[in-house]
Homo-oligomer: A and B are copies of this chain.
Amino acid sequence: MNFDPQTLRYDEKGLIPAIAQDHASGQVLMMAWMNQDAVAQTLATGRVTYWSRSRQAFWVKGETSGHVQKLVDFRLDCDRDCLLLLVEQSGPACHTRRQSCFYTAVREGDEVELMAPLTDQA
């Protein structure tokens, strides 16, 4: 079946959540949002492109930081209202320079930091 970005279910703001997962390690890196054009652009270019809700603009991941996400596989869920992107991540995914945005765990009622920021070499 031919894929049409229009057939995804976007929320009332025209957005759909997109989870980025490292294709090799399986680590969940981040969650951000796409609109229909960002979906089309991601598929057309192979470079993961979100929609920045704060800037109200396309956000080609890594365009300024260099920490790009190359699309390896594009998946959608049973309800067509969430995306899972398997990616090849250059450098850290998080703006804090951690590998993943999910670096805080809650264990026995306390917040625990699981990852340190990567150094410049990363």
- Chain A contact residues, CB within 8 Å of chain B: 1-3, 17, 19, 21, 25-28, 30-31, 43, 73-79, 82, 84, 94-96, 98, 101-107, 109-111, 114
Contacts and interface: CB of A to CB of B under 8 A. Distances in A.
Contacts of A3: 106, 109-111
B107 A73 contact: yes
Nearest to A25: B26
A105 B74 contact: yes
Given A76-B106, A79-B101, A104-B75, A17 B43 contact: no
A78 B94 contact: yes
A25 to B, nearest CB: 8
A37 to B, nearest CB: 16
